[in-house]
Homo-oligomer: A and B are copies of this chain.
């Protein structure tokens, strides 16, 4: 069976495809927040990846984290694989800012204010452009 997004991830906005992962946007205007989803069928945990695939994942996390830091200059990035609710491996990369809505607490399970449509489109384009520029280096 081929790769498919879990229904909880399939509703999120597409940013771009990297060699191994699909990049998606969390619809939350208060936090620049993306997901990396390995494009391999049947992956729930990191343990479902081969060692080689984990290293590729790590390189793509690094690349996306750098892109988000360059774009948004956060105080801190939160990088996490949780998966209690959505049983498909997905890596959160979230920009956090001193004094943001929930700082210094974590943001999972908190209420989200969705983007306005123009702002969402612009955010996706900026993230996509920055990630692809770093890919070409």
**A interface residues (Cβ-Cβ under 8 A, vs B):** 44-47, 51, 54-55, 57-59, 61-62, 65-66, 69, 75-85, 87, 96, 103-106, 108-109
Cβ-closest 4 pairs across A and B = A80-B80, A84-B104, A58-B58, A79-B81
Copies of this protein in the complex: 2
CB closest residue in chain B, given A82: B78
Shortest A121–chain B CB gap in Å is 28
CB pair A46–B106 under 8 Å, yes or no, is no
Given contacts A46-B61, A54-B62, A109-B105, contact A78 B83 (CB under 8 A): yes
CB pair B109–A77 under 8 Å, yes or no, is no
CB pair B79–A106 under 8 Å, yes or no, is no
